A = this chain, B = another copy of it.
Amino acid sequence: MKIAVDAMGGDLGLQITIPGAARAARENDLDVVFVGVEDQIRPAVIRLGGDQSRLSIINAPEAVSMGDGVFAVRRKKHSSIRVGIQLVKDGQADAFVSMGNTAAVVYMSRQILGTLQGVNKPALSLLIPTLKGLTLLLDVGANANCQPEDLAQFAIMGKVFMEQVMERPNPSIALMSIGEEESKGNELTKQAFDRLSSAPLNFIGNVEGKDLYSGKADVIVSDGFTGNVALKVSEGVVETLFHMARREITKNFFAKIGLLLMKGHLKRIYKRVDYSEYGGAQLLGLNGVCIIGHGRSNSNAVKNAVRLARDFVAKRVQDKIREELGRSVAPGEAKA
């Protein structure tokens, strides 16, 4: 299996992508092809030392910054993002992994790879650390406007991912809403509720925002606007709390000692809630495998993202999504 890795992606770029992906190649018996500025990648790979027979490079000299809009990205024919995705399209790589500009990867992968047959919209899905393990939230931002049928498809794709990759049989599926009763929600969720109820899913009904972290459901389905706001709000709360804690605690000598004694533990908590550790977000329903890591990723997160890409391919998630969607037919169509 060969995984294409965007060597230029992430806030730390080559510093993390090269060692992270190289470790993933070694540990998982994979070939990795680094995509990006060859002149910068080659010395970084050489510095790694050891056996490099499974690492290769494809030159893609144009840079896409985290701030670039999709229009800028579209014009760059030789960006690492575009070239990497094209490798998947051409069958020269089994999957593409990037820690770069999420909007750019979502846009380009949709343009180049398209969706699986029967899928309306690919969904960006992310594993969220909760009190009881990981919950998959989707969509977290690929589709700002969704129809009820889209949400039903997201549920099926999320189910397949959790079953195949996370080995969680018959995962529970919930709908993000503003109250548990069926009557609570907006027009979209009320219609989606009906579709989810009649689909061949372990649908447990609506959940509220607070349940994103309670571990109540294995999969939580949402339109991409709401899902993105939920995710970004979480980031904001965590950052604000840690910031307040630092500010509050450094005011007082005893509290500082207290902090010192607790430091390792607080770090461990931060790591647990910091989803950049979990590898990355998966685009589900795309006609090709594409994993997008957090810009803040470290090399360990890159390693995890590459391993996730391997699992995604090895466990034939794409085929299973196609099968499940075909089998269950979109619930809406069945009614028509």
Contact = CB atoms under 8 A, between A and B. Distances in A.
Interface of A: 69, 103, 130-131, 141, 144-145, 176-179, 181, 183-187, 189, 208-214, 223-226, 228-241, 243-245, 248-249, 251-252, 254-255, 257-262, 264-266, 268-269, 272-273
Nearest to A269: B244
Nearest to A69: B181
A328 to B, nearest CB: 27
A316 to B, nearest CB: 32
Nearest to A181: B69
Contacts of A243: 131
A229 B226 contact: yes
20 contacts: A130-B240, A141-B178, A144-B184, A178-B229, A209-B236, A210-B236, A213-B233, A214-B236, A229-B229, A230-B233, A233-B234, A238-B241, A245-B265, A248-B269, A249-B262, A255-B264, A258-B262, A258-B265, A259-B262, A261-B261
Contacts of A178: 141, 144, 224-225, 228-229, 232
Contacts of A272: 244
B240 A103 contact: no
Contacts of A265: 245, 248-249, 251-252, 255, 258
Contacts of A264: 255
